[in-house]
Amino acid sequence: MSFRTFILALTASFGIAWLAIIVIPFFKMRDLAPIAYPEAKTVTAGVFFPKRTGRVVNGARVYAENGCYICHTQLVRPTYAGNDLYRPDWGGLKMDPDRGDTRRETNAFDFNGEKFAQIGLMRIGPDLSNVGRRVETAEASSANPTAWLMAHLYNPRNDPQSWNSKCPPHRFLFEKQEIKGYRSPDALAVDVGENMEMVPGPDAKALVSYLLSLKKDHPVPAALNFAPPEE
């Protein structure tokens, strides 16, 4: 075998795999065709379009820049690949007071509005596909989910229930400022010196807004519902 043949074979071997795994899925996923709800089977009409509110684009950038995707996933795996649906509130709520069981697997439409799908690398921390829903329903944070997430970002170990959290503090996302008159409504309940307060910066606000937007438990058309049938 000549050196030229070897190089061509090597290029073809890696090139075909690169096209099949990277390029083709990228172009297929960037412009997903709408999927309609079958009106005969559900009360939801129209096409499936996940609704998200918040600073999704800015927050996703802060999420990526701070390496959150290294320790957290946003991927509720199919049942044949794991038991994500049965972990507490990862894939949705088992007992939603208004909608019942909202658990489902992740699909490509769930990342609508983001430049990259933050599916994550490892699960050192919990999956965040529905962290916005979890925080809103958790007893400790339901009164003010935004304030709870801000305090968690500043120092996760301040919460007695998270004393052994592996999540690093993100104090650099917050700013210390002098109290002029009244305390800021966004100020954290931490002691940073006399007549001083700690308030979230723009990146902290964008990140918390993004996390609160993660509610990937919308009803999906039958074509996207791969969950096992209920008994």
**Would you say 154 and 169 are in contact if contact means Cβ atoms under 8 Å apart?**
yes
Closest by CA to 171, choosing from 193, 156, 186, is 156
| 3 phi and psi angles, rounded to 5 deg | -65, -35
Give pLDDT, residue 47. 75
pLDDT score recorded for residue 140: 66
- What is the pLDDT at residue 43? 54
User: Quick check: 78 and 105 in contact, CB under 8 A?
Assistant: yes
In whole angstroms, how far apart are CA 37 and each of 102, 106, 189, 219? 16, 17, 46, 10
The residue ranges of the chain whose pLDDT is under 50 are none
Residues 6+ apart with CB under 8 A from 67: none
Signed CA dihedral, 45, 48, 54, 55: sign only: negative
pLDDT at 137: 86
Query: Which among 65, 67, 51, 68 has a CA at the least distance from the CA of 110?
Result: 51
* Nearest CA among 8, 45, 69, 17 for reference residue 211: 69
pLDDT score recorded for residue 226: 65
In this structure, are strands 196-200 and 174-178 parallel, antiparallel, or unpaired?
Answer: antiparallel
In tens, the pLDDT along 146-178 reads 999 999 999 998 877 777 888 999 999 999 999
> What contacts 105, CB < 8 A, 6 or more positions away?
76, 77, 78, 79, 84, 85, 91, 226, 227
- Token pair, residue 5, equals 């043949």
Please state the pTM of the whole predicted model.
Answer: 0.82
Q: Which domains does the chain have, with CATH numbers?
A: 56-224 (1.10.760.10)
Please report the pLDDT score of residue 168 as a whole number: 92
Cα three-residue angle 199-202-206, rounded to 5 degrees = 110
d(CA 165, CA 135): 16
**Collapsing DSSP states into helix, strand and coil, what is residue 151?**
helix
DSSP character for 35? Answer: -
pLDDT for 45? 60
CA distance 101 to 7: 55
Query: Is the separation of the CB atoms in 199 and 188 below 8 Å?
Result: yes
Task: Give dist(CA 102, CA 140) in Å, integer.
Answer: 22
Residue 227: predicted pLDDT = 59
Distance from C-alpha of 68 to C-alpha of 105, rounded to nearest angstrom: 21
